[in-house]
Structure 1
């Protein structure tokens, strides 16, 4: 019976443990529901899958969160949906059928399952009356992506530019096959005709189509991919020159309209404006490239970039929700990500995750609660006017003339959208904070810009008689280009037309010169260098005591005491010592009795240049003394040599002195700021090394070559260095900082050490204002600073002429003196930073403290001796007459030679004749 109970108890415990293990290993499931009769919905599955792979790698969760897909159609019942979502924790639906949407909502509410319905259809903020009957459930949300919110700009735009006649919508081959693109135009109170654009490279077909349209319409709207529209506009140059149509381009990709070969353009452009706070699509592309994933279903370089961004955002919210509501998964995260979820408190519903998580950003704006379970993406769109004249090829204009949001509508930036952009002398300048070129200063109750570049721009403004407004780039980056040619940061704002001028310490690079024009340089050649935390010298007044470790000091003291004790013992018991042979050494001039006090004094003074004085008479004592002298010589020599090295090693020790040293080690992490020129430099150098390697490999494996020629190329080791390839890979693993301030903070506070590779001027200013930082190595890849303007802008020559005038008048040298030599933020670093001329008092000052302590101790001893003698003399009785006679007799009896012998033997003898 007892055995049966124990067996039953063991089985229960085993079953309980297995259930816990299974619960820990059970994966959390995301289910994506799409319709099979919508090719567009099916295409989204590829975007969802690649987004899932990205965030699974981002949080390093392996298989703790999995994803599966359910395809439904008109015959799918609610029972089928319940079976498909039985083991699901989170549902993302992209179905458009209203019945299926209602079934999915019902299931989610009934079983308390987080459900996100993505409404990829027309939306204008108006809901049917039946929506009032839906209960409020915080884990059920219906989101309207930004691309469908953006369609609401069309009605207002056409009213503002006063288009009331018939217009023609020309679509590319992708948009013409998708009917939902037509809906926003069909709802306008204007007669519209939909046509497909011919292949834009077929110039004759383009001209024939426009010739036919010239007799039927006055307004043409181009809808499609930017690259497709660029080619179409290029072949329509004659129609722009003749000013036959009003041209409008409506695109939802973020590629800038370039068309460098377009001779004449006069066109409105409506396009979305990313926030810059999130760059999910760009990071996803980098992830796919790093993982070498190039399957067709994971191609993210398509025209439907906003759809990809929507899928990425949906998966981002799903991961955030599932992690926040699972403490086990939170414990699996790295320490960098755990605080985000632990600080959520009770705000962990899907609605809270979507709208109240401060670290959760979306590429085209946040999601705003609108009505019941509906959340729309607060996307911003821009209205631009592109003007290019055939007779003024060096005066191209891409002007940002209006901004649109769903709540505020279109806000014209220059009176109205019909403004003549060629008459405007007001310019938008984009910049970035980088002291001392651009910085903030507080003036009363508001902040304003100041710095070298601001002073420069003010002087240029006086020369050109223009006005300007300046703003900060939202993402805080100089800009890098992706595989499609789209820029972010400062470059992105300038190429799209949001900014007319880039005012910043921006390096002139060939890659940038493709899409913007640079003026003449306003600053000297500036390269890249390395910033590291200055080595702690460890200054200490008693640093000379640290030359030897404390066990060595203890052993030296022990040897000193032992030797002194042995000298006293040997002198006392040796029959050949002076104390035992006073008569023998009576005539010897060197007489010394080695009491314990004398032995201690002898050993101490033997270690000094003064010497120890008379040595013992006995051979055994002399052997002890000689051994002590040898010991002292070795100790003093070793201490002296190591003291000099110890006091200078902190100044000479610098394990990393160049970029090569940095590349050869793996202890200290290093990286550049993400999105800057330095990042571009290392990425390109790595790509060049890979290109050279692939070229060499292709040549060495070329079978068309003779065996002898191939043999000459066949080597065991690759003959070219792969330094930059390894450095670029290591930088990516080290997680590049997003800003200069983040990089400096990491340099100062990293436990394992961190080296920041960046622009030499920003590093020089960091060293100028912080005594704990230093530059390492020499500059490399030097380039000048210049102001950037839009490609083909007339501002290039105007600003260049103004800068040359300022250079000739030496005004730029005055600015350099103001913001560098006399900068008020310059740190006053201690003078011992430069120790090249000798040892600092901060390291050797303890010696003087030792002398002072010895002097103080000697004074204390003198006072003690004085009072001790007075006290002892006061206790002795005064001599009587009889005692005086005896003293006289005693004096007669004790000779001077005997008195000297007593003193040498250490016998205390007081002559009564000297007592009073």
Structure 2
């Protein structure tokens, strides 16, 4: 019996056998035809699909379809189905899930969305793509993977900001350690070498002056003269002055550059950053991550699962993501937690519409897994679908379809967090310096008052 033919159809006679004549082939078909690898009668199969950032549902004119309209999709999903249909010789009709969801296992143990349609055998297959997951694997057949992905965070980038404390950046802690170490070495030499002189030429006051001179050079002040310079004093002080000159000029050059720097805030690089903040989270309805976060025992995904049903979680369909991206995600009150492959297609669309890269993707991904399309459990279509999926991966066709499914596909990749601008100096750039200056002057006044009080106390005694 040929697959997908009416029950009343006659079986295909491929051969007969009698004791007298033996085996006689009666059909051009093989004795054991691979009837599920390439169909003989071009049947029409039911395929379920759903909108995705890389694929859009559209209605096209088709006089042979009910109502003169036929559902189809754009993007890689349609390319996949055309390749599979040509290879296996069938036609296909798209349907949508009743709840327009991808599907997950609900609390009653029932599969929803597209997954539920496949489990109930109301459709033969779906190009998905679906994440590999053990609970799903028990209910359907997965094909070979077509790509891998994980769940990440999409958030709005901050606006370029001035860092008033940028004048501290040129001198890192390691530089300060080096400067202080060099100062200690110079002071040590200034203290130890006079001890080698005869006692009648040693001058404690001169030694204190030399130490004070080294500190004054570091603070860009003048040098106090002594009664006479020993040659080694001149050498050490000259080397110290040269080192401080190089350090100062380097600092000045870097400081002028840093005053032109603007920092773009990207605070949410992991799920922990989101959970520790008051920002709300947008998730896609009925995806496999819901089952995972309900069952995982520890970690940030467990904390995310605890937020289900609260005001911090907003559930969207895929068709609603674009609206959420343009409104609540752009105003930085929400972030989107979904598959990174979606983000890689949403960002080019937004760039094409606005001409700006207003969003970024977190560095940390969760629930990394492979994705493939699925068929009914124990489906005889699965072996050939595996071959086609492997061919799409090895040939690079699927990656190419994904890359060129949207224009400007790479415009918002690897966005810098620091930019430079050409602008005049303002109080916004320099108030940190004035704060340090004012704090230093205030500290000097306090020290002066303390010294005066202490001096008066000593005189009174």
Q: TM-score range by the shorter chain?
A: 0.5 to 0.7
Q: Assess, with a 3 A threshold, how the Cα gap between structure 1 residues 644 and 472 changes in structure 2: closer, same or farther.
A: farther
Counterpart Cα distance in 2 of 1:826 and 1:512: 35
Match of 1:471 in 2: 95
CA contact (8 A) 1:525 1:784 kept: yes
- The residue aligned with 1:742 is 320
Verify the 8 A CA contact 1:670 1:731 in the aligned structure 2: no
Q: Give the match for residue 426 of structure 1.
A: 44
Q: Secondary structure at the match of 2:106?
A: coil
| SS in structure 2 at match of 1:502 | strand
Residue 90 of structure 2 corresponds to residue 507 of structure 1: no
**1:764 aligned partner:** 344
Task: Name the residue aligned to 1:802.
Answer: 388
Say whether 1:754 aligns with 2:345.
no
The alpha-carbon deviation at position 766 of structure 1 amounts to 1.4
Q: Does 1:535 pair with 2:153?
A: no
CA distance in 1, matches of 2:114, 2:322: 22
Larger radius of gyration: 1
Matched length: 291
Shift of 1:817: 1.8
3-state SS of paired residue (1:517): strand
- Structure 2 CA distance for partners of 1:831 and 1:464, relative to 1, 3 Å: closer
User: For the structure 1 residues 736 and 434, does the alpha-carbon distance in structure 2 shift closer, same or farther, using more than 3 Å as the test?
Assistant: same
Report the Cα distance in structure 1 between the residues aligned to 2:256 and 2:288, rounded to whole angstroms: 46
Q: Deviations over 1:568-613 (max 9, x none)?
A: xxxxxxxxxxxxxxxxxxxxxxxxxxxxxxxxxxxxxxxxxxxxxx
Partner SS state of residue 661, structure 1: helix
Structure 1 Cα separation of the partners of residues 382 and 410 of structure 2: 41
1:452 and 1:816 in contact (8 A); partners too: no
Q: Secondary structure at the match of 1:844?
A: coil
Relative to 1, partners in 2 of residues 1:792 and 1:755: Cα closer, same or farther, differing over 3 Å? same
SS in 2 for 1:675: coil
1:661 aligns with 2:290: no
Deviation sequence 1:548-579 (CA, Å, 0-9, x none): xxxxxxxxxxxxxxxxxxxxxxxxxxxxxxxx
Which of 350, 358, 362 is the aligned partner of 1:776?
362
Question: For the Cα contact (< 8 Å) 2:72–2:78, is it kept in 1?
Answer: no
Would you say the 8 A contact 2:47–2:95 is kept in 1? yes
Q: Which residue does 2:285 correspond to in 1?
A: 674
In the alignment, the residues of structure 2 paired with residue 666 and residue 831 of structure 1 have an alpha-carbon distance, to the nearest angstrom, of 26
Q: Is the 8 A contact 2:147 2:393 kept in 1?
A: no
Does residue 826 of the first structure (1) align with residue 408 of the second (2)?
A: yes
Which residue of structure 1 aligns with residue 397 of structure 2?
814
Query: Quick check: 1:650 aligned with 2:263?
Result: yes
- Taking a change above 3 Å as real, the CA distance of residues 529 and 724 of structure 1, as seen in their structure-2 partners, is closer
Residues 443 and 492 of structure 1, relative CA distance in 2, 3 Å threshold = closer
Alignment of 1:194-213 (within 5 A): none
Matching of residues 10-29 of structure 1 within 5 Å: none
Contact map agreement 2:345 2:409 (CA 8 A) in 1: no
Q: In structure 2, how many angstroms separate the alpha carbons of the residues matched to 1:458 and 1:464?
A: 10
Residues in 2 aligned to 1:516 and 1:544: alpha-carbon distance in whole angstroms: 55
Deviation track 1:698-750 (CA, whole Å, cap 9, x = no partner) reads xxxxxxxxxxxxxxxxxxxxxxx564333222243124322135345434423
Quick one: distance in 1 between partners of 2:101 and 2:108?
Answer: 19
Aligned equivalents of 1:752, 1:819: Cα separation in 2? 28
SS of the aligned residue for 2:338 comes to strand
> Contact 1:672–1:757 at 8 Å: present in 2 too?
yes
Q: Assess if the C-alpha contact under 8 Å between 1:674 and 1:736 holds in 2.
A: no
Cα distance between partner residues in 1 of 2:288 and 2:405: 26
Map 1:438-477 to 2 at 5 A: 438-440=55-57, 448-477=72-101
- Secondary structure of the residue that 2:307 maps to in structure 1? helix
The equivalent residue for 1:844 is: 422
| Separation in 2, partners of 1:432, 1:790 | 17
Q: Which runs of no fewer than 5 residues in structure 2 stay unpaired?
A: 1-6, 8-34, 63-68, 167-250, 351-356, 426-461
On the 8 A contact 1:479/1:492 being kept in 2, the answer is: yes
* Deviation at residue 536 of structure 1 after TM alignment: 2.1
Distance 1:643 1:440, change over 3 A: farther
Matched, 1:518 2:104: no
Match of residue 786 from structure 1? 372
Larger RCO (CA under 8 A, 6+ residues apart):
2
SS at structure 1 position matched to 2:263: helix
Q: 1:780 to 1:517 in 2, by over 3 A?
A: same
Instruction: Output one character per residue of 1:616-645: Cα deviation in whole Å (capped at 9) or x when no partner.
Output: xxxxxxxxxxxxxxxxxxxxxx99988765
Residues 1:831 and 1:726: Cα distance change in structure 2 (over 3 Å):
closer
Q: TM-score, normalised by structure 1?
A: 0.29
Q: Is the 8 A contact 2:284 2:315 kept in 1?
A: yes
**Distance across 2 between alignment mates of 1:826 and 1:443:** 27
Deviations 1:98-149 (A, max 9, x none): xxxxxxxxxxxxxxxxxxxxxxxxxxxxxxxxxxxxxxxxxxxxxxxxxxxx
Change beyond 3 A, Cα 1:520–1:798 = same
CA distance in 1: counterparts of 2:322 and 2:74, whole angstroms: 22
Partner of 1:220: none
Within 5 Å, give how 1:20-99 maps onto structure 2.
none
C-alpha displacement of 1:647 = 4.7
Cα distance, 1:475 vs structure 2: 1.8
State the Cα deviation string for residues 472-498 of structure 1 (Å, max 9, x = none): 223221111123321110111111121
Deviations 1:351-385 (A, max 9, x none): xxxxxxxxxxxxxxxxxxxxxxxxxxxxxxxxxxx
1:224-264 Cα distance to aligned partner (Å, 9 max, x none)? xxxxxxxxxxxxxxxxxxxxxxxxxxxxxxxxxxxxxxxxx
Q: Is the 8 A contact 1:656 1:776 kept in 2?
A: yes
Aligned to 1:15: none
Q: 2:304 aligns with which of 727, 741, 754?
A: 727
1:501/1:765 CA distance change after superposition, 3 Å: same
SS in 2 for 1:778: coil
- Confirm or deny that 1:498 pairs with 2:117: no
Provide Cα deviations, 1:285-333, integer angstroms capped at 9, x if missing partner.
Answer: xxxxxxxxxxxxxxxxxxxxxxxxxxxxxxxxxxxxxxxxxxxxxxxxx
Give the match's secondary structure for 2:314.
coil
Separation in 1, partners of 2:253, 2:319: 45
- Decide whether the 8 Å contact of 1:431 with 1:504 is kept in 2: yes
Verify the 8 A CA contact 2:104 2:287 in the aligned structure 1: yes
1:419-462, Cα deviation, whole Å (9 max, x unpaired) = xxx999321000011132x3246768977422112111211111
